[in-house]
Structure 1
């Protein structure tokens, strides 16, 4: 489990993922050494990782949510295989280990190879469904509300960077590929290391980072095991909503601290979310008292998540 300083550090990284330890320490009221020590401990024990990721629109990518059903052994092997692919993120084992849920990033140039070719030929799969992500309400650049509640308003103001202008997102160019690959491995990689990886000068790297982040083409995400934060129960929620009320319901769910992910999709259900709660009883209460109170949800399927095999960061 983590303490108040650990939670504050995670919140600080969500606000400014590349802030120096010294700046974070000043805002938190602790030493630079304490911040560095806490960061390294969380990285070793709680899977803490800061990663820089391209905005899917700027990268010319489509995002799909795959649901695959298979026998338990086949499902575990397939989840591992999917996690090792560079075009996947958030690979989860669900429904007693017989279902895989994964996000797949595709572009016109790859011909949707994973969706249309690789998966149907994999032995042991009994069902496949693919849901095109139409709109993200929570997830991606939008931080999970339940994880950003540790700092005071003054502390947040001291760390919060200028909000990006996503309406003017720059398209990524060929020269950005090495930069994004490096940031996908470590979003806090130093300018010197990024310079070595890209072949650019440190000044050019710094300028390009600023351009991409301020335009919304690049954002940072913070991975950490939710169990260490006390969230021991996870489930995917597949909801059917009357189309005229889809956006209203999506926006209402986006205000729930229990949901780190909410998106509109294609498919038999048109809204999907992930819930994180501190116990099965808390999940039950959340579904009955909060989700149940929202009008125009006509059906809901709840699938428990057993394990996250891969998060936003590349598999290692």
Structure 2
């Protein structure tokens, strides 16, 4: 859901300057992005430090709210439909409407955008009928809401289990290979049905992806061995993945921008793949609508953003039009709404 060196600028990376996370912290975040439940002993062995060092670093940053591991359900593996929603409000009501959206269990990545009159969010529905109910009935309907547009997420070029930190070079290729779990089964279009116990499992993991087996057993009513087996099954099916939510300020980022591009259909795949490779891009997807390519962009400051838009984005194939909007307040990331959260999910949308 993004790394810089302790001093200076990483090669080819949009950010620079002194950051709160040192080199070991960044390697730890990258390791957790690869496998959020990896034992500290395994991470320590790969990083070449002691178990106690890894545990101490993680505990300190977790306690301070600088990072958190989340266990999340992949929408496509479940057959769910995701919608990129933009809500236009009167200036006096935008904050309250955004907070109402953030409290919903079917929303994520809720942000108040520049100007203070627009809210961007991702909404999730289990079927077309659920989408109709969500978009036509359940979204806020008050005189303060003056417009709602929603476009279906068609294809994800970068996101999900791929964290922005994977572009940082914090870990070597050999370390990445050693820490990476087996890839999920290739089941395109296959929907997995979750039981009530599975949903309780995901509820617990979304709050803390490293919740101990004993606590997960208490949440689900299963034995610890059953929990362990079910976690392995859900990961093998591509339903469960791990994300790391971290404080963007610890990585030197000052600007996060939502970027909507209108791309010629024949160039959409090429433009999306090129965009996904940019070190500035935390999330990229194809959507329906006149702006058919969306990205979340992270930059050190507005000067770096200008440089990015006029060089890397300008060079993308088939771009006909561009719209950008800085995020001025982040209310909700990929996990459940919490009252005290990091300054920004270091990830995507």
* Shift in alpha-carbon separation, 1:120–1:19, aligned structure 2, 3 A: closer
Q: CA deviation at 1:307?
A: 2.2
Q: Find the counterpart in structure 2 of residue 77 from structure 1.
A: 96
Pairing 1:238–2:260 present: yes
* Shift in alpha-carbon separation, 1:203–1:130, aligned structure 2, 3 A: same
Q: Find the counterpart in structure 2 of residue 28 from structure 1.
A: 47
Q: CA deviation at 1:125?
A: 1.4
State the alpha-carbon separation in 2 of the partners of residues 114 and 64 from structure 1: 10
Q: Find the counterpart in structure 2 of residue 136 from structure 1.
A: 156
Q: CA deviation at 1:46?
A: 4.4
State the alpha-carbon separation in 2 of the partners of residues 273 and 170 from structure 1: 26
Pairing 1:208–2:230 present: yes
Structure 2: where are the runs of 5+ without partners?
1-19, 339-349
Other structure's SS at 1:72 match: coil
Deviations 1:209-241 (A, max 9, x none): 111101212111111122221111110111000
Q: CA deviation at 1:154?
A: 2.5
* Larger CA deviation: 109-118 vs 242-251: 109-118
* Larger CA deviation: 158-167 vs 289-298: 158-167
Deviations 1:82-134 (A, max 9, x none): 11111111111111322110001112364543311133513411221111101
Q: Find the counterpart in structure 2 of residue 276 from structure 1.
A: 298
Pairing 1:113–2:133 present: yes
Match of 1:219 among 241, 252, 258: 241
Deviations 1:279-308 (A, max 9, x none): 111111111111101121000001111122
Q: How does 1:133-282 map to 2 (within 5 A)?
A: 133-144=153-164, 148-167=168-187, 171-174=192-195, 175-282=197-304
Q: Find the counterpart in structure 2 of residue 16 from structure 1.
A: 35
Deviations 1:142-165 (A, max 9, x none): 332565521122222221111112
Structure 1: where are the runs of 5+ without partners?
none
* Shift in alpha-carbon separation, 1:62–1:99, aligned structure 2, 3 A: same
Residues 76, 191 of structure 2: 8 Å contact kept: no
Equivalenced residues, count: 316
Deviations 1:1-39 (A, max 9, x none): 211111111001011110112222222222222222222
